Structure formats: C-alpha cells, structure tokens
C-alpha cells in the first residue's frame, strides 16, 4: 500500500514539474527547454504549416549543435508541435495545451486570425509568442506578448498604393477584401493611401472568407472599368478570384495585397490567369538573403520540397527566441519576454529587433509580378524609411 501511494505521489510530482527541469540524456544531465509551435497541419493550409514546422525543426537542431548553456546548465531546446487546423477554436485549445506543457515561448500561428485568437491567451500567461505570418495590426488599445516577424498591413499597403500610382500611373481602383480583420485592414490602408495620392476608389466590396462566388461583384466591377483590382485575402482565394476576373473578360491589372502569393501554389491554382498579377510580400527576395543558398540546400535535402517563403522567417523566429533565452540566462518566461524587447539578431532574413508594441523596427516588403510563369521581384522597400 505504501509503495503504491509513493508511486502515485511521484507521478503527481512529475506531472506538475516545469518542463525545463533537468532530464538525463546519455551520460550527462541536460535541461530540456520546450518551445511551442502551432501551425495548420491538416486542412487547406496543411502544406503551408508543415513547411514552417520543418524550418522550425531545422532551427532547433542548429541551435542544439552549438551546445548551448543557460544559467550554468547544458540545455537542449525541444520543439513541441501542435496542429491548429486553421481554426480559431482549435488554435485557442492548442495555445492552452502548450502553456500547460510548460513552454518558455511559442511560435505561431499560421494566419492572422488564428494568431489574434491566441494572443490574449499567451499574454495572460505571460508567455512570448512570435508570429511569422500575422499581417493585421493589433486591435486598437490592445498590446499582448506577441511579436510580429513581418511588417503589418498598415505598413505594406501604402507601399503598394505608391507603386501603382508611381509606376503603373493607376488613376482608379476596385477594392475587394475577404471580410476578415486582416483583409479589412489591408483594404482600408490601401484605400487611404491610394486616395491620398489622388487615386479614385470606384468600388469597395467584401466577400465571405473562402467564398468562390464572385459573379455579382465582378459583373459590377466590369462596368466600372478600373485600372486595377485590389484584393485583400488569402492566396488560395486570390487564385480563384483572378481566374474569374479573366473569365468575365476583365484584363485589368490584378493586385494581391495579402501575404503568401508569390509561391508555387498560387501559380498552380491560378494557371494562365496568374500572368501579370502583382503582389506584395514581407521580406526581401530570397536570393538577397544572407545564407539563403545553404538554408535552401539543407531544407531540400531533409524534406525534399515544399519550401514556403515563410520558412526562413520561421527559422529566424526560433533563432530569435533561442537568443532571447540565452540573453536572459533564464528559463523563466517573464525574463525571456523582457529579453525579446532588447534583442538584436542578425538572421537569415536580416537584422531583427522589435519596438515596444512587438512590431519589427525595420520591416521589409517586396513587390513581385508574375511573368512567364515566374515571380519577378520589382521593388524592395524598408517600410521604416518610407
């Protein structure tokens, strides 16, 4: 009876221990330091999420090869992967799970709306969250413990509007968004800058997220004869929309104002209708990234393919967290959080540091155009200098 009671007590103690207490690895005691990552690993965005998890695993392995030490202990960083399925409800459950598992910080989520669904959860727990693909500014008056690894729509949309006025001499635009917070805000920021540059917004419409019925909007748009059609929405819906734009006979320049367009999936889904599409994406072109060739080579050797533009951003997100843990010289989430505000990390995607609101100090954007079935970078901007 005493033995059984002792066993139950030991099990209870183990379950309530922080995940970063020392564990025996081989002949040495090494402290495991868990970092969470929540991405869509099933559903329409599964390939996207898996690519980012692959990059995070590479970063963890690279960090561990340097035999890191924290607070005088040998440590091994460990990635805890959860599937948020592209669902706000599942993302919230995943965030709570990672917190209960004792992560010192987390990477995620896969989209703006799933990131916003988890920001307050991590904030309430005092745990840092690094978001590799969230494009909408935080709700007014709110500030969480989330750090953005890319520039937000309020920074990118004006650059896109300027490019259209200065280079295409666009005089009027039809604006469509996907009805989400990210789409609404990107569309609003675009309209504000385009009109400030004396452009005319001839129509402004929202479609339901994931909708494939564009007939009514496109029929009305066709009659307006805009110079450009701007769409604020995800890449898969943008591909369906541009196919329908061409189907109804509109040869107007199609402009995509959200993230993730300039990849192979858009070309696959849009087909010939992709030719001429303009898109803005966070970051510099990959061939301008220091260390890109080595990263790409290792990624393809390990995973065979499916390398997304957000993979290097996610790789850097993990490395920034590792740097913050080492700078803090602590496993405590509060100290790691404080270190993130001071971090200055030279990564694959450039120099990374944050302001007091968790935004990048030097957000980079690049405008691309699809030509001859390839994405051609047209212009790269440092939004902090615009």
Block residue for tokens 């590792």: 322
Q: How high is the pLDDT of residue 269?
A: 87
User: Within 13 A of 363's CA, how many CA atoms are on the CB side?
Assistant: 27
What value does the mean pLDDT of the chain take?
89
pLDDT classification of 384: cutoffs 50, 70, 90: confident
- Report CA torsion sign: 306, 310, 313, 317: negative
Q: How high is the pLDDT of residue 263?
A: 67
Neighbours of 206 (CB within 10 A): 18
- Tell me the per-residue pLDDT of 60-84, one tens digit each, with 9 for 90 and over: 999 999 999 999 999 999 999 999 9
Reported as type and span, the H/E element at residue 386 is none
Phi, psi torsion values for 265, nearest 5 degrees: -65, -40
Q: How high is the pLDDT of residue 63?
A: 98
pLDDT, mean of residues 333-347: 97
Task: Give the integer Cα–Cα distance in Å for 331 and 340.
Answer: 13
Task: Give the integer Cα–Cα distance in Å for 301 and 285.
Answer: 21
| Total length of the chain | 386
C-alpha to C-alpha distances, 384 to 47, 48, 259, 262, 359, nearest whole angstrom = 32, 28, 19, 23, 11
> Which residues are CB-contacts of 291 (< 8 A; sequence separation ≥ 6)?
348
In DSSP terms, 374 is beta-bridged to 371
DSSP labels, 240-276: HHHHHHHHTT--PEEEE-SSS-SSHHHHHHHGGGGTT
Neighbours of 332 (CB within 10 A): 15
Is the peptide bond preceding residue 69 cis, with omega within 30 degrees of 0?
no
Decide: pTM greater than 0.85. yes
Q: How high is the pLDDT of residue 2?
A: 44
178 CB burial (10 A radius; 0-12, 13-18, 19+): buried
Q: How high is the pLDDT of residue 3?
A: 46
Block residue for tokens 């896969």: 110
- Tell me the per-residue pLDDT of 192-249, one tens digit each, with 9 for 90 and over: 999 999 999 999 999 987 788 899 999 999 999 999 999 998 888 999 999 999 999 9
> Which residues are CB-contacts of 117 (< 8 A; sequence separation ≥ 6)?
88, 89, 91, 92, 109
Q: Is residue 7 pLDDT above 50, yes or no?
A: no
Higher pLDDT among residues 109 and 182, named by residue: 109
Q: Is residue 4 pLDDT above 60, yes or no?
A: no
Quick one: what percent of the chain has pLDDT higher than 90?
A: 74
- Tell me the per-residue pLDDT of 277-331, one tens digit each, with 9 for 90 and over: 999 999 999 989 989 999 999 999 999 988 888 999 999 999 999 999 999 999 9
C-alpha to C-alpha distances, 243 to 67, 219, 254, 275, nearest whole angstrom = 51, 14, 10, 11
- Tell me the per-residue pLDDT of 10-35, one tens digit each, with 9 for 90 and over: 333 333 345 555 444 443 689 999 99
Q: Is residue 122 pLDDT above 90, yes or no?
A: yes
Contact 326, 295 (CB under 8 A): no
What counts of helices (H) and strands (E) characterise the chain?
12, 16
Among 246, 307, 308, residue whose Cα is nearest residue 275? 246
Task: Give the integer Cα–Cα distance in Å for 276 and 370.
Answer: 5
Q: How high is the pLDDT of residue 27?
A: 38
Q: How high is the pLDDT of residue 349?
A: 94
- Tell me the per-residue pLDDT of 135-146, one tens digit each, with 9 for 90 and over: 887 777 677 899
31 CB burial (10 A radius; 0-12, 13-18, 19+): buried
- Report CA torsion sign: 65, 316, 361, 34: negative
- For 80, the 3-state DSSP assignment is strand
């Amino acid at each position: 009876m005493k033995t059984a009671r002792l066993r139950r007590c030991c099990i209870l103690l183990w379950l309530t221990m922080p995940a970063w207490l020392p564990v025996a690895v081989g002949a040495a005691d090494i402290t495991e330091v868990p970092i969470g990552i929540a991405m869509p690993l099933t559903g329409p965005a599964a390939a996207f999420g898996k690519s980012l998890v692959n990059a995070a695993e590479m970063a963890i392995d690279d960090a561990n090869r340097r035999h890191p030490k924290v607070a005088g202990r040998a440590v091994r960083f460990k990635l805890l992967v959860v599937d948020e399925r592209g669902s706000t409800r599942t993302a919230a459950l995943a965030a709570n799970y990672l917190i209960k598992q004792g992560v010192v910080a987390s990477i995620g989520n896969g989209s703006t709306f799933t990131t916003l669904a988890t920001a307050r959860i991590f904030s309430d727990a005092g745990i840092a969250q690094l978001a590799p693909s969230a494009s909408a500014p935080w709700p007014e008056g709110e500030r969480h413990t989330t750090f953005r690894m890319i520039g937000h729509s309020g920074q990118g949309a004006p650059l896109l509007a300027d490019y259209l006025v200065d280079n295409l001499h666009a005089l009027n635009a039809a604006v469509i968004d996907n009805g989400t917070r990210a789409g609404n805000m990107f569309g609003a920021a675009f309209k504000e800058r385009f009109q400030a540059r004396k452009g005319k917004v001839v129509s402004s419409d929202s479609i339901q997220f994931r909708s494939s019925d564009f007939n009514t909007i496109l029929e009305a748009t066709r009659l307006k004869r805009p110079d450009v059609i701007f769409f604020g929405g995800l890449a898969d819906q943008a591909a369906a929309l541009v196919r329908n734009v061409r189907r109804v006979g509109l040869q107007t320049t199609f402009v995509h104002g959200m993230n993730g367009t300039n990849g192979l999936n858009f070309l696959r889904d849009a087909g010939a209708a992709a030719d001429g599409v303009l898109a803005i994406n966070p970051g510099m072109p990959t061939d301008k990234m220091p260390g890109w060739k080595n990263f790409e080579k290792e990624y393809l050797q390990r995973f065979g393919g499916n390398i997304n533009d957000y993979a290097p951003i996610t790789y850097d997100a993990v490395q920034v967290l590792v740097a913050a843990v080492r700078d803090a010289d602590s496993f405590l989430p509060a100290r790691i959080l404080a270190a993130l505000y001071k971090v200055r990390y030279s990564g694959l995607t450039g120099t990374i540091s944050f302001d007091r609101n968790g935004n990048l100090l030097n957000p980079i954007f690049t405008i691309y155009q699809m030509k001859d079935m390839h994405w051609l970078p047209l212009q790269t901007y440092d939004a902090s200098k615009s």
